[in-house]
Amino acid sequence: MKKILITGGTVFVSRTLAEYFVSKKEDVYVLNRNNHPQPKGVTLIEADRYNLGATLSNYSFDVVIDANSYTGEEVSLLLDALPEIKEYIFISTSAVYPETLSQPFKETQQVGANKYWQSYGTNKIEAEEILAKRVPQAYILRPAYIYGPYNNAYREAFVFDCATSKRPFYLPSSGDMILQFIHMNDICKLVDKLLETKPVEKIYNVGNEVTVTIKEWVEMCYDVVGESVEFIEVSSDVPQSSYFSFPNYEYILDVSNQTAVIGETIDMKEGLRESWEWYRENQEVVTKRDYFGAIEKMLEEKI
């Protein structure tokens, strides 16, 4: 039994990781402020990560999974508070790659500012650099768009809402922009395998081997709800992020290192079916954006 500390533990990524390792009979601790319900089977360490003090000084963990550090400061504060560090896994982001690089992005390419992700990406870069310097054995994961049960971002849930309302879907241009996703359970599987096999490579792009277009993704979302979709194409003159869940930015990750560790990822449609089954009972968990308002106010005049 491994003693595992997971930062967060109550929302999407960190919660799924906590539940996964509880199901594997590991001794799971979660570090959070206790503002949300805790997963079953975990031990709560209630603290503010900006004021940890001696909170962790009497603990010894086999593994630290940092699932919710967004800046170098947050990583540094956690490292300072831990009396020792054995295995460490950091959930970073694919937003660390500049949009100007050749694609698919490879882990060996130079990271840097991306105009679409701005400070989110550069803050994660700083966090990665501090971690690599202080904990050279740490693994760093750079996921594409994450989906699955517990997803509190209004992404697939927005399309499910369109489908259940039997609305036509307002499609950015022809809908041929490519999206790359990864199911949260595949991230759990990767983390587990890295801890088990301890490969030499320390940085991993994380995503499905097969990408989809916006149109294909929306069709799958409607299909798992049990509805057919009618598309209305929207001019590129309309800001895409005002009425759709993703910015007008296409990128692809090279995930060959990930594939070498875990093999094939979850089928996209099956993963979306799991998301739908969860969402239909947990709609209040998702942070919804007013895409429908934008559509009603703006798009009718600008298509």
With a cut of 70, say whether residue 156 has pLDDT above it: yes
Distances in Å between the alpha carbon of 155 and those of 31, 180, 182?
Answer: 27, 13, 13
What integer is the mean pLDDT of 212-227? 98
Each domain of the chain, given as residue ranges in start order, spans 3-147+182-206, 156-180+208-250+267-302
pTM for the model: 0.96
At 296 the pLDDT is 86
Dihedrals φ, ψ of 246, to 5°?
-135, 145
Q: What is the pLDDT of residues 39-48, one digit of tens each?
A: 999 999 999 9
Mean pLDDT over the full length of the chain: 96
The tokens for 197 are 């096999």
Q: How large a percentage of the chain has pLDDT more than 90?
A: 95
Say whether the peptide bond before residue 83 is cis (omega within 30 degrees of 0). Answer: no
What integer is the mean pLDDT of 203-219? 98
Superfamily of domain 156-180+208-250+267-302: UDP-galactose 4-epimerase, domain 1 (3.90.25.10)
At 47 the pLDDT is 97
Alpha carbons 263 and 74: distance in angstroms, whole number: 32
With a cut of 70, say whether residue 300 has pLDDT above it: no
Q: How large a percentage of the chain has pLDDT more than 70?
A: 98
Sequence-ordered alpha helix ranges (H) in 104-252: 119-134, 156-164, 184-197, 214-225
DSSP string, 47-72: --TTS-TTTTTT---SEEEE-S--SH
Q: What is the pLDDT of residues 229-254, one digit of tens each?
A: 999 999 888 899 999 999 999 999 99
The CATH number that domain 3-147+182-206 falls under is 3.40.50.720
